[in-house]
């Protein structure tokens, strides 16, 4: 098993302008020093609340956004500074599926044109050959042949998402970044799409980076989960470990807040105070202002590093016994 | 039942005229709520759950909407026959509503104080239409505003907004999503309503904030004896917050039961499918079941049971006849031919 994608110390800062001359007054740290790796054929979940930077990471990997710092390795090669022409080849390998299926499909193109466009761009395929491939792809994602000449608005949300999936598959990618692929869908349709994604993964040996805020969906889809809080990873581990034995106080609170469809479920509900705020003091742990655990002095002053506390289980929290004691 | 129902919706039919034809949104909704109930109304997009709720304060635009049959009564009063001015007083005093999106429901140009005080004053003014020549004997407008301000701060405290006395002078954009939803709950409570209708109140919020808001609603139920109609598509939210659940599909309530019973012993094939479609603990890869097909077109809905084209256990009778609602247990009813009448 090889590492298909490796992200090292990725940061993305957006400039904040202000003042009389509209100068850059500070940075908005959307992603701050994030590292993770993705094994080929596996699914890594990027989980966090809105504003935690999960979509920004996805876009940096596709180079739709230029990272401020850090390195992205795809299949062993550094893709952080590829030129536009080289990027085009990369886009044949990495594709993205978006949250709002209606907004990510061109309303003036038919389904056949939407799915056929990447074939033309990447493989110069057109005419009957392209049509055959498109129909084959439509069949794979569960669309019918008669949908070929229809327009996106004629479809329900679930069907639109199938079109988006077929378009992403057209170039035979190895890695797909799924940005909240089912959060706009109803549960019964969500289940259909999730199962489709799993089938496609088995069939085409795909690797997924699965971005979501829905922990239930992540538990179902992912092999490994990375939790983000304000642009930093706070915990990474295998899915079962994250859900059974979370170590970071934020992870614990988040898991206790999942509304499980089970009225008999007895568990301690940890309700954390306040909400996500980027105006935390820049030193110290980003979660410290909301943390419900007994804080240490270090929490407010020293940012906790992400360290491996058990095999393949990384946590960034001063409260963890394995955390080295800071020498201040 | 000894206690009279607070809300009683019987056989409600609602249609909308559109250029494509008549959309049959509600096709015989039956729903009863007693005082102090916390009822979850669950269903997928387009099943009519919001329309059912909006028909209580009669907020459905008519035309194009049209109620073709049915009754809605609240506290024994017939809602559908009230005049518009009676409805205004009714809404102000009996029903509070909160919606999914706390951003669009607050005016960005006014402070929270102006909006909350307005709500309080509006509710107070209802029902005491003083003739002009007696106006001079009313407490002065200034004093009324002062009282309303105090009430607004009190409401903010009640809904758990820290530093309400200072933050009341802030504008909506200075509040986070969760705090805005609290402001809207405060506004809905301004008239001491009997019924709070919460239409997807946590859908736009993050899970940790969702947990805070659900806890707030539960504590308000305990403190104020509110009756809550919670509309949601999230079965987890229902399991956590409600005592009873009504499941809607395509314009009808197809199953209703106490919450534990519904999750332990779901009867209607749609309810079963819905519960099986939620990714839960202990479901391994590939174990999730979706419901095949999609929600029906409401202009030309399927004959008989509207769920029959997607149902795994469909019978001939389902294709032709609309199933009546039958009791299948204590306070548990469903509209499905799989269960014989008179159990």
pLDDT on residue B134: 58
**For residue B203, which of B49, B59, B65 has the smallest C-alpha distance?**
B49
Residues of chain A where predicted confidence (pLDDT) is lower than 50: 327-328
| Cis before B64 (ω within 30) | yes
Interface probe with A: pick from B279, B298, B312, most Cβ of A within 10 Å: B279
Q: Does B210 touch chain A (CB under 8 A)?
A: yes
pLDDT on residue A328: 45
pLDDT on residue A158: 87
pLDDT on residue B245: 94
Domain ranges of chain A: 1-41+48-82+175-180+207-328
Res. B299: pLDDT tops 80: yes
The Cα of A309 is separated from the nearest Cα of chain B by a number of Å equal to 25
Res. B257: pLDDT tops 90: yes
The Cα of A220 is separated from the nearest Cα of chain B by a number of Å equal to 6
Q: Which residues of B touch A213 (CB under 8 A)?
A: 206-207
**For residue A90, which of A107, A104, A78, A106 has the smallest C-alpha distance?**
A78
Least confident of A242-256, B95-109, B129-143, B152-166: B129-143
**Separation between Cα atoms, residue B245 and residue B260, nearest integer Å:** 9
pLDDT on residue A138: 93
What is the average per-residue pLDDT within B50-61?
90
pLDDT on residue B52: 92
**Separation between Cα atoms, residue A14 and residue B281, nearest integer Å:** 38
Looking at the DSSP bridge assignments, the partners of residue B41 are: B231, B246
Res. B127: pLDDT tops 60: no
The Cα of B121 is separated from the nearest Cα of chain A by a number of Å equal to 30
Interface of B with A in 36-55 (CB under 8 A): 44-45
pLDDT on residue A20: 80
- For helices A249-256 and B207-224, what crossing angle results, to 10°? 50
Instruction: Pick A1-41+48-82+175-180+207-328's CATH classification: 1.20.1630.10, 3.20.20.105, 3.40.50.300, 3.40.1190.10.
Output: 3.40.50.300
ipTM reported for the complex surpasses 0.85: no
Res. B53: pLDDT tops 50: yes
| Max Cα–Cα distance, chain A, nearest Å | 70
Q: Which residues of A touch B38 (CB under 8 A)?
A: none
Q: Residues A97, A168: contact at Cβ < 8 Å?
A: yes
Q: Which helix (H) or strand (E) holds B316?
A: helix B316-320
pLDDT level of residue B137 (50, 70, 90 thresholds): low
Q: Does B312 touch chain A (CB under 8 A)?
A: no
Q: How many residues does chain B have?
A: 343
Could you give the C-alpha distances from A299 to A285, A302, A314, A323, B70, in angstroms and in order? 5, 6, 18, 12, 61
- The DSSP code for B4 is P
The Cα of A299 is separated from the nearest Cα of chain B by a number of Å equal to 21
% of chain B beyond a pLDDT of 70? 94
pLDDT on residue A327: 46
pLDDT on residue A318: 87
pLDDT in tens, B188-240: 998 888 999 999 888 888 888 888 888 899 899 988 889 999 999 889 899 88
pLDDT in tens, B83-97: 888 888 888 888 999
Cβ neighbours around A290 below 10 Å, total? 18
């Amino acid at each position: 098993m090889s590492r298909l994608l490796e992200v090292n110390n990725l940061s993305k800062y957006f400039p904040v302008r202000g003042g009389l001359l509209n100068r850059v007054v500070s940075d908005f740290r959307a992603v701050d020093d994030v590292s993770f790796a993705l094994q080929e054929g596996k699914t890594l979940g990027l989980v966090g609340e809105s504003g935690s930077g999960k979509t920004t990471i996805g876009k940096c990997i596709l180079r739709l956004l230029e990272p401020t710092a850090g390195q992205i390795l795809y299949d062993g090669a550094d893709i952080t500074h590829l030129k536009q022409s080289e990027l085009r080849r990369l886009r044949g390998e990495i594709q993205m599926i978006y949250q709002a299926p209606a907004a990510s499909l061109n309303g003036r193109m038919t389904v056949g044109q939407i799915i056929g466009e990447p074939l033309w761009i990447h493989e110069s395929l057109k005419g009957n050959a392209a049509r055959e491939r498109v129909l084959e792809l439509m069949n794979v994602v569960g669309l019918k042949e008669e949908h070929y000449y229809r327009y996106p608005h004629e479809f329900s949300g679930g069907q639109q998402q199938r079109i988006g999936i077929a378009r992403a598959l057209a170039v035979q990618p190895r890695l797909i970044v799924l940005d909240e692929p089912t959060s706009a869908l109803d549960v019964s349709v969500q289940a259909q799409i999730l199962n489709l994604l799993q089938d496609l993964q088995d069939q085409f040996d795909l690797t997924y980076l699965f971005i979501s805020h829905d922990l239930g969906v992540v538990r179902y889809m992912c092999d490994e989960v990375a939790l983000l809080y304000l642009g930093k990873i706070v915990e990474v581990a295998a899915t079962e470990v994250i859900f059974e034995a979370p170590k970071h106080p934020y992870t614990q609170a988040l898991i206790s807040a999942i509304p499980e469809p089970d009225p008999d479920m007895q568990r301690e509900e940890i309700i954390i105070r306040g909400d996500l705020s980027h105006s935390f003091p820049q030193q110290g742990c980003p979660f410290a202002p909301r943390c419900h655990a007994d804080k240490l002095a270090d929490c407010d002053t020293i940012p906790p590093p992400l360290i491996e506390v058990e095999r393949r289980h990384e946590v960034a929290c001063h409260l963890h016994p394995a955390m080295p004691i800071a020498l201040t | 039942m000894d206690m009279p129902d607070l809300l009683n919706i019987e056989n409600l039919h609602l249609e909308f005229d559109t250029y494509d034809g008549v959309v049959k949104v509600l096709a015989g909704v039956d729903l009863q709520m007693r005082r102090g109930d916390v009822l979850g109304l669950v269903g997928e997009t387009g099943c009519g759950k919001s329309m059912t709720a909006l028909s209580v304060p009669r907020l459905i635009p008519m035309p194009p909407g049209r109620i073709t049959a049915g009754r809605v009564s609240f506290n024994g009063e017939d809602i559908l026959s009230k005049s518009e001015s009676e409805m205004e007083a009714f809404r102000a005093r009996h029903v509070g509503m909160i919606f999914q999106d706390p951003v669009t429901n607050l005016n960005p140009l006014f402070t929270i104080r102006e909006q909350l005080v307005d709500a309080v004053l509006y509710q107070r003014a209802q029902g005491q239409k003083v003739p002009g020549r007696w106006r001079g004997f009313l407490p002065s407008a200034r004093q009324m505003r002062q009282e309303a301000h105090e009430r607004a701060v009190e409401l903010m405290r009640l809904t758990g907004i820290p530093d309400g006395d200072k933050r009341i002078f802030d504008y909506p954009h200075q509040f986070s999503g969760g705090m805005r939803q609290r402001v809207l709950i405060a506004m809905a409570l301004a008239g001491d309503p009997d019924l709070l209708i919460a239409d997807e109140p946590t859908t736009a919020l993050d899970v940790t904030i969702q947990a805070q808001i659900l806890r707030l609603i539960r504590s308000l139920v305990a403190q104020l004896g509110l009756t809550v109609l919670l509309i949601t598509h999230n079965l987890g939210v229902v399991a956590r917050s409600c005592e009873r659940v009504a499941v809607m599909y395509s314009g009808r309530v197809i199953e209703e039961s106490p919450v534990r019973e519904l999750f332990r012993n779901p009867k209607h094939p749609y309810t079963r499918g819905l519960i099986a479609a939620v990714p839960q603990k202990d479901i391994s890869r590939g174990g999730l079941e979706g419901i095949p097909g999609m929600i029906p077109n409401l202009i030309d809905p399927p004959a008989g049971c509207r769920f029959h084209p997607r149902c795994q256990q469909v019978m001939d009778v389902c294709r032709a006849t609309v199933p009546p609602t039958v009791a299948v247990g204590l306070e548990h009813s469903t509209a499905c031919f799989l269960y014989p009448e008179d159990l």
